[in-house]
Amino acid sequence: MKVLVNDKISPKGIEILEEAGYDLTQKHHDTDELMDVLSDYDGIILRSATTIGEDLIDASADNLKVIARAGTGLDNIDVDYAESKGIDVLNTPGANSASVSELVFAHLFALARYLPQANLTMREGEWNKSDYRGIELAGKTLGIVGLGKIGQITAEMALNFDMDVLGYDVADIDTDLDVDMVEKEELLQNSDFVSLHIPASDEAFIGEEELDMMSEDAYLVNCARGGVVDEDALLDALNNDDIAGAGIDVWEEEPTNNDELVNNEKVSVTPHIGAATYEAQDRVGIQIAEKLIDALEN
């Protein structure tokens, strides 16, 4: 079996594939190059840096058996079309959930205690102790949009910090956690912090209308997918004091060119590092290797 590792995965995942006797090629190809080479492979492992649409599927469907996404989101793969051609599409839901949830709380603490501002001004020689009176998370309400694996781990962390938790999901969620499931509008209106854990879609989930529902003292955190939040609407809300601040890990365009939002004094920003821990990447690499082997062997 020939497998193309188009985007890097953990060495532990590579080791599993090599021990299984697969012929591995570890090299990144852009879309044009993939059109010429992908049909030579039985499987491909990719991450967010590679997009596979109808044209590429058509060009490789005679031989390609498995598309394996080393991560959770599948928005860069035309899943329905691939499966219609008999190609299995795999991912690793849950492997990076704890890491993403911890980053959510890194942003929550950064926003609540003015960490980005304090870091910047201290490095410029300022001592603005009286300017940075923050708030405690305990006793505040966290609204979680999307109660999948990451959302539920985030909820559990919030409850451990003595926060109240509101939840909203389009699916019927069954959980033993002390989460009050409400409608979207109620969550936005009654949350001190809102954390998003939903896939990307054609339209932003949070736009001008949704931001208007939030309190002027509320904070928004997006560690989900770029495009879930309308960045122009968010910037306007921040500049007009319609919300207190935002934590942003994912962007409409990556790398982002939205310098005005990145440099806004009310935001905590990171460059899409939600899953960027050694532990998460080892879990992702191991799981996707094992799933790929199972799919190809069966």
Residues that are catalytic: 225, 254, 272
Q: Are 162 and 109 in contact (CB under 8 A)?
A: no
- 22 three-state secondary structure: coil
The radius of gyration of the chain's CA atoms, rounded to the nearest angstrom, is: 21
- Strand order from edge to edge, sheet including 23-26: 23-26, 2-5, 43-46, 66-69, 88-90
E strand or H helix at 280:
helix 278-297
3-state DSSP assignment of residue 12: helix
Other beta carbons less than 10 A from residue 163's beta carbon: 19
Neighbours of 170 (CB within 10 A): 9
Helix orientation angle between 278-297 and 97-112, rounded to the nearest 10 degrees: 150
- Chain center to CA of 223: 5
Q: State how far Cα 295 lies from the chain centre.
A: 25
